[in-house]
Amino acid sequence: MKKTALVLVILLVVALIVPSAHAKMKIGLGGNVGLNISTMVSDAQGFDTNKKSRNGFVLGGVAEFHFSDFISLQPEMRYAMKGLRQEVSDQGFYYKAKYNYDYLEIPVYLKVTIPTGIAFGPHAFAGPVVGIKLSSNYDVSTNIPANQLPQGTLTGDGTIADQNSIDFGLGFGAGGHFDFGAHGISLSFVYNLGLTNVDGSEGAESMQNRCLSIIAGYVYTFNK
């Protein structure tokens, strides 16, 4: 909790100091929604076997602090669904597992916009992403008898215990936007590279989030 509070304070200070130092800068506020296509990577033996992505949604708010027509700072706060699925089937037997991780994510992107002189313009961005874990659970369906499953195999449904509460990573992406006066709509493709071990249990193999997002957004810009 102390780490979470520290991260939130730092991000809040950045969001407050930057606009106050540039009183006449353009400030935009809005929201975004999109699709998350997520998975995880690990060095654990057999982890990648029959691994599939988890599809979920991402929803949140966004602010833009424009230093110029080219450069802006874009902090966000969003709810993001991540995780992965594993499916195994052989000779009529099956094992299907869903591992669901939901986060409150706070990315802070440095964004570069290329002015084109028309309503449409491309942009690219990159920056750190802090995720605060809201929940981690599993849902397993199988017709394999319990005594034939490897020891420790999850069955049924429940909470995944001993998972780290903070997920730190790097996000980067690109897209395009249409501006209609003070109103702007955008479509971006974002890749989130998780750097923190998701599994916090003692002696656990390293496991990190990976996520591709397709996000549509709307921003209203003041002082434009």
The candidate with the shortest Cα–Cα distance to 208, out of 138, 129, 142, is 129
| pLDDT tens for each residue of 172-185 | 999 999 999 899 99
pTM over 0.85: no
| pLDDT tens for each residue of 85-107 | 988 887 778 888 899 999 999 99
Q: Which residues does 89 contact at the CB level (< 8 Å), separation at least 6?
A: 95
| pLDDT tens for each residue of 100-151 | 999 999 999 999 999 888 889 999 999 999 999 999 998 988 887 877 777 7
CA 31 to chain centre: 15
Gap between the Cα atoms of 129 and 54, Å rounded: 20
Q: Give the pair of three-digit tokens for residue 133.
A: 């874990």
| pLDDT tens for each residue of 10-66 | 555 455 555 545 456 889 999 999 999 999 998 877 677 788 999 999 999 999 999
3-state secondary structure at position 117: coil
Please write down the HEC assignment for all residues of 189-218.
EEEEEECCCCECCCCCCCEEEEEEEEEEEE
Domain-wise residue ranges, the chain? 2-222
Query: Which residue stretches of the chain are H helix?
Result: 2-21
What is the CATH code for 2-222? 2.40.160.20
